[in-house]
Structure 1
């Protein structure tokens, strides 16, 4: 477990071990999502990087909007 401190300018440093493991780069953009008391930070990816992500996915059992609760 790693800890970081929020500065007076509301900045926080990402521990080096995390940066290395996730391959984060300086200048990279992130999306922040609030989940209760937690903050999820998701690296924003170029659309080209996610191309083919769902290739071969089974689309036989898709729900339409009217089927959703």
Structure 2
């Protein structure tokens, strides 16, 4: 298997979509939790395409409570 094919995958904490945190615009929170881009934006997150980072973090409080 080629190195580029062994990327680490995770699932969105809300919708369960499979994401590659290292390459997708996923929002990381908690220890090992992620939101996919769509769920992060729905929760108020704002992605800055020019600078390749989140300008505004999405609200993850509801998700964090559910994971406890």
Output the TM-score relative to the length of structure 1: 0.22
TM-score calculated relative to the size of structure 2: 0.22
Greater RCO (Cα-Cα under 8 Å, separation 6 or more): 2
Higher percent of residues as strand: 2
Query: Which of these two proteins has the greater Rg computed from alpha carbons?
Result: 1
